[in-house]
Every structure is written in C-alpha cells, then in structure tokens.
Amino acid sequence: MEHNILSSQQLLEHWQGHRRLTRRVIEAFPEDQLFTFSVGGMRPFAELAVEMLLMGVPGIKGVLTGKWKQLVEDNQTQKKEPPRTKDALLQRWDEATAEMDALWPQIPAQRFQETDVAFEMYEGQVYWFILYWIDNEIHHRGQGYVYLRALGIEPPPFWER
Amino acid sequence: MEHNILSSQQLLEHWQGHRRLTRRVIEAFPEDQLFTFSVGGMRPFAELAVEMLLMGVPGIKGVLTGKWKQLVEDNQTQKKEPPRTKDALLQRWDEATAEMDALWPQIPAQRFQETDVAFEMYEGQVYWFILYWIDNEIHHRGQGYVYLRALGIEPPPFWER
C-alpha cells in the first residue's frame, strides 16, 4: 500500500461510536414495536440488531483466528435463540461491546490488508470485511430511523456518537 | 498514530463503490416518486441525494484547500437550484464521480490525521469528516431502501458495489 491514513484504534473507535448510536436506536423503540414493527415487509429492528451482533464479535474472532467454520455454526445456533425482550437485547449488545474492545487490540496491523474468506462466504481483504460490517449496521440503522419516524418517534441525532 | 491499516486509494474506492450503489438506488425510483415519495414525513430521496452531492466534491475541495467559507456559500446557491429530473440528477452524480476521482489523489497522506473545521461547522480530524460523509450516504440510502420497498420495488443488493 502506498499511503496509510487510519489507525486500527481509530477504526475500532469509529465502529464503537456507531454501535453507541445503534444502542440508542434500540432504546428508542417501544418494546413491542422493536420486535414487530416493519415497513414494506422488511424485518423488525430487533432482527436487524441481532444480525449486527452476529457480525461484530464473531467477525473479529474470525479476523483474529482465520477460522470461520465454527463461527458460522455458532451463529446458526445463536439465530435460533434470539433475545426476546429489549433488556435482553441491550444486555447482549453491551456484552458484545466489551468483548470487541478486549479482542480488537489483538489484531496484528498487517492483518487488515490480508485476503481471507469471511464466514466462509465473502472473499476480500480484511479491512474490507470490517468496513462492510460497519456499513451494514449503518444501512440497517437507517432503516430503523424510518421505522421510528413512521411510529411518530424522533430518532437520536445521527451525528452523536 | 501507532498502526496504519488503510490506504488513501482504498478509501476512495470504498466511497466510490458506495456511490455506485447509491446511483442504482436513484435509478430504481420511478421519476415522480424520486422527488415526492416519503415515509414518516422524511425527505424524498432526490433531496437526500442532493445532500450527498453537497458533501462529496465540496468536501474534498475543503480537505484539499482548508478553505471552507466559499464552499459553504456555493452549497447554499446549489441548494436553490436542485436538479428537477432523474436524468439531471444522474448527470450531476456522474460529474461528481469524475471530479472526485480527479481531486482525491491530490490529498497529501498526512492530511487525513490533521484537525480542521469542515464546512466551518464540524471540528474533527479529516479522516473523521470523510468517514462521516460516507456514513451519511449509507444512512440515507438505507432510508431509500425502505421507500423502495414501501413502493413495492426491489432495491439493488447492498453488497454489490
């Protein structure tokens, strides 16, 4: 690579900033609507939040070890036992936050430019997967903003992290 | 900074990949709905796309020069004369794509870690502004996905860039 512009620690902080905002979006939903409300036949926000959880800690574990098979299987199990209350979802969210903070510094800097196949499915460079997981969260959270507005609820400000 | 993980060229390619996807979302809207359709009182997708245009080229110009005052004024003028057809919007989009490609390589690598006040309003490091502009596009495009679904239109796949 010719020039380097961003540190590993800055990328983690960027991600965790987005995750703090997503947490506020989860909190903004009324309990029942979190698990049921939808527009245009799309998934309720709780399902989207669970998808984010299946990319965060498992994604970083895969980046660290390069071993994805068990992570794919574990995610399939997790999907069958999603959190069923807002409190349970927020608790899972906070556990993931702490685990991500603990695991991330173990990623060697050169790893971000290596090629791998994330979750045995997405081939690309590691920095690309990680940006993809962050972008996927922003994308689905944008969907959550529309759900909140459609419910007459003011979403948290996008720029606040 | 302790470790570097991403090149300037990779960040541009990441942004342009998102911009290619946003272009497909603009194309997916029926002409009239692009300028009028909304859910929950939010802005129609054409307005959101214009907001993205006011961050792309002007943002890179500000990063390059550190002079934001004229850019803020130019953007205010631009807002008064938004594109009024899908073709005009797509043409603006493509002009911006070419201009961003031409300007970007002129950004010195060390600039990304410098502190500035983007558009005379947002203080932070340059890499942070740029990620913010990309994230803002992903966020509002996620909103566009809900509009399309609510209109019964299949949006383009998120992973295709």
Binding site members of B for a divalent metal cation: 140
pLDDT at B85 over 90: yes
Domain at A8-105+114-150: CATH code: 1.20.120.450
| Chain A CB contacts of B6 below 8 Å | 1, 4-6, 11, 112, 127
Chain A neighbors of B37, CB-CB under 8 A: none
Q: Which of A10, A25, A45 to mutate to test the interface with B (most CBs of B within 10 A)?
A: A10
Range A103-122 average pLDDT: 95
Q: Taking CB atoms and an 8 Å limit, are A112 and B1 in contact across chains? A: no
C-alpha distance from A6 to closest chain B C-alpha (Å): 5
- The residue of B3, B9, B18, B132 whose CB has the most chain A CBs within 10 angstroms, and thus the best one to mutate to test that interface, is B3
User: Over the stretch A4-38, which tens digit does the pLDDT of each residue have?
Assistant: 799 999 999 999 999 999 999 999 999 999 999 99
| Residue-level pLDDT at B1 | 44
What confidence score (pLDDT) does residue A3 get?
59
Chain B nearest C-alpha distance from A17 (Å)? 11
Question: Nearest C-alpha of chain B: how many angstroms from A145?
Answer: 8
Q: How confident is the model at residue A1 (pLDDT cuts 50, 70, 90)?
A: very low
The mean predicted confidence, pLDDT, of chain A is 95
Distance from C-alpha of B58 to C-alpha of B51, rounded to nearest angstrom: 11
Show the tokens assigned to B65: 């020069």
Query: Cβ of B72: how many Cβ atoms within 10 Å?
Result: 15
Residue keyed to tokens 């997967």: A129
Q: From CA A145, how far away is CA A132, in angstroms rounded?
A: 20
How far is it, in rounded angstroms, from Cα B19 to Cα A43?
Answer: 25
Q: What is the pLDDT of residues B38-59, one digit of tens each?
A: 999 999 999 999 999 999 999 9
| CA separation for the pair B56, B101 (Å, rounded) | 11
pLDDT exceeds cutoff 80 at B92? yes
On the question of pLDDT at B136 being above 50, the answer is yes
What is the reported pLDDT for A6? 92
- Tell me how far apart the alpha carbons of residues A52 and B158 are, in angstroms, rounded to a whole number: 15
Main-chain phi, psi angles of B98, to 5 degrees: -65, -40
Does pLDDT of B70 surpass 90? yes
Q: Is B47 exposed, middle or buried (0-12, 13-18, 19+ CB in 10 A)?
A: middle
Of A14, A128, A138, nearest to B139 by CB-CB distance is: A138
CA A116/CA A70 separation, integer angstroms: 16
Domain boundaries along the sequence of chain B? 8-150
Q: Which among B127, B141, B142 has the least Cβ separation from residue A10?
A: B127
Pairwise CB contact (< 8 Å): B5 & A6: yes
pLDDT at residue B94, rounded to an integer: 98
Interface touch A149/B7, C-beta < 8 Å: no
Q: B87: pLDDT confidence band, cut at 50, 70 and 90?
A: very high
The pLDDT, as a whole number, for residue B90 is: 98
- Long-range contacts of range B85-93, CB-CB < 8 Å, 24 or more positions apart? B85/B31, B86/B26, B86/B27, B86/B29, B86/B31, B86/B34, B86/B46, B89/B26, B89/B34, B89/B46, B89/B49, B89/B50, B90/B23, B90/B26, B90/B27, B92/B53, B93/B19, B93/B22, B93/B23, B93/B26, B93/B49, B93/B53
A94-106 pLDDT, tens per residue? 999 999 999 999 9
Q: Which fold has domain B8-150?
A: Four Helix Bundle (Hemerythrin (Met), subunit A) (1.20.120)
Query: B11 touching A, CB under 8 A?
Result: yes
B61 part of contact set with chain A, CB < 8 Å: no
- Of the candidates B116, B145, B144, the residue with the CA atom closest to the CA atom of residue B132: B116
Contacts of B145 in chain A (CB under 8 A): 42, 139, 142-143
In the stretch 83-112 of chain A, residues with CB closer than 8 A to chain B read: 109, 112
Buried b (16+ CB within 10 A) or exposed e, A127-160: bbbbbbbbbbbbbbbbbbbbbbbbeeeebbebee
Say whether A132 and B159 touch across the interface (CB within 8 A).
yes
In chain A, pLDDT over 70 holds for what percent of residues?
Answer: 98
ipTM of the complex: 0.95
What confidence score (pLDDT) does residue B3 get? Answer: 59
Q: Which residues pair with A118 in a beta bridge?
A: A122
pLDDT average, residue stretch B1-5: 63
Which residues of chain B does A105 touch, with a Cβ-Cβ cutoff of 8 Å? none
Tokens of B94: 């493509």
For B17-34, how does the pLDDT look when each residue is reduced to its tens digit (9 = 90+)?
Answer: 999 999 999 999 999 999
Mean pLDDT over each residue of chain B, to the nearest integer: 95
| Distance, CA of A61 to CA of A51 (rounded, Å) | 16
Given a contact cutoff of 8 angstroms between Cβ atoms, the answer to whether B5 and A127 are in contact is yes
DSSP annotation of B157: P
